[in-house]
């Protein structure tokens, strides 16, 4: 009995020996900054000259027009882009899951490749495509759909649509991979039985594919919501938050408060915790709506 206890104790010590370095690193670079940011959010001042100010930073949120504007911007992106992207990813995954389709591997790689490209590189390419003399305007004018070039980046709603298109192009393939993995775990005999019963493609998609992929759809919805609320690269590189802050995101506003304006780290930390709470609340709602268990 003593030998067994000694062996278990050695195993525990060895196990903790492997886990401890990673645990320490996670605490230093993940949990400590979270706790530190929470403490800073209750402080006010310029630069590193901070002092305790209570809830003043959180009160300021209610009267800050830039914060309200950036918050509404990310919700516009969320409402427009996430459902479109996930629906496209689901449709494409269903089509590419067909064993009769030729060159499936090529199409899968081609659609997934955008999410493997550099964020900065693809944003710059989109900026050049949708410039006044860019490919998009030339194509639309040659097709006689427009009479003069559209200033995509210079108008609020066209700039927002540009960001939605860029996000959809980049992340649709990423979500498609999740749906493909889920579809390949569905027994093909279910679809065969539905065909025999006379179910068409749309009925099979809505009555079989979507219900069976519900956990994965929930997962991708939560991840996409989280990513959209924290959007930074696209708004920074494509539009720089313009025109007139029409595409300014919360993360970009935090960056400006910290590094472009007079540094207000306390207020920036408060906004970062607003994002944290939004992500947590929306994830909780999605879990409740999407998984009744």
Domains of the chain: 2-57 (no CATH), 65-290 (1.10.3720.10)
Angstrom distances, CA of residue 64 to CA of 58, 60, 68, 230, 241: 10, 6, 6, 19, 16
| Tokens coding 78 | 């969320």
Q: Which of 133, 136, 164 is nearest to 235 (CA)?
A: 164
Give pTM, 2 decimals.
0.84
Of the candidates 277, 249, 35, the one whose C-alpha atom is nearest the C-alpha of residue 160 is 249
Contacts 24+ apart (CB under 8 A), 78-81: 78/225, 78/228, 78/229, 80/160, 80/161, 80/164, 81/163, 81/164, 81/167, 81/168, 81/228
Q: One digit per residue, pLDDT tens: the chain, 293 residues?
A: 556 567 777 777 787 888 888 889 988 888 888 888 888 888 887 877 777 888 888 888 888 898 999 999 999 999 999 999 999 999 999 888 877 778 888 888 888 888 888 888 888 888 888 888 888 889 989 888 888 888 888 888 999 999 999 999 999 999 999 999 888 888 888 888 888 888 887 888 888 888 888 888 888 988 898 888 889 888 888 888 888 888 999 999 999 888 887 788 888 889 998 888 888 888 888 777 765 55
């Amino acid at each position: 009995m003593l030998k067994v206890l000694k062996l278990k104790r050695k195993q525990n010590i060895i196990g903790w020996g492997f886990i401890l370095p990673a645990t320490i690193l996670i605490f230093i670079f993940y949990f400590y900054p979270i706790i530190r940011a929470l403490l800073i959010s209750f402080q006010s001042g310029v630069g590193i000259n901070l002092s305790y100010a209570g809830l003043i930073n959180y009160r300021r949120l209610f009267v800050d027009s830039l914060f309200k504007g950036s918050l509404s911007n990310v919700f516009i992106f969320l409402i427009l882009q996430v459902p479109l992207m996930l629906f496209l990813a689901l449709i494409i995954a269903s089509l590419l899951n067909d064993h009769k389709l030729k060159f499936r591997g090529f199409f899968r790689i081609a659609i997934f490749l955008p999410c493997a490209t550099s964020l900065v590189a693809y944003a710059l390419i989109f900026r050049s495509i949708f410039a006044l003399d860019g490919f998009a305007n030339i194509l639309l004018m040659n097709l006689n759909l427009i009479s003069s070039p559209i200033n995509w980046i210079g108008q609020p709603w066209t700039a927002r649509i540009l960001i939605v298109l860029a996000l959809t192009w980049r992340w649709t393939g990423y979500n498609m991979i999740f749906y493909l993995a889920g579809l390949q775990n569905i027994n093909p005999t279910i679809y065969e039985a539905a065909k025999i019963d006379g179910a068409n493609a749309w009925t099979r998609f809505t009555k079989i594919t979507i219900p069976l992929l519900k956990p994965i759809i929930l997962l991708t919805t939560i991840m996409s919501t989280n990513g959209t609320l924290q959007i930074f690269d696209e708004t920074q590189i494509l539009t720089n938050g313009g025109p007139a802050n029409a595409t300014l995101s919360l993360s970009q506003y935090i960056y400006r408060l910290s590094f472009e304006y007079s540094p207000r780290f306390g207020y920036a930390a408060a906004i970062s915790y607003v994002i944290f709470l939004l992500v947590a609340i929306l994830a909780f709602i999605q879990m409740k709506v999407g998984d009744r268990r």
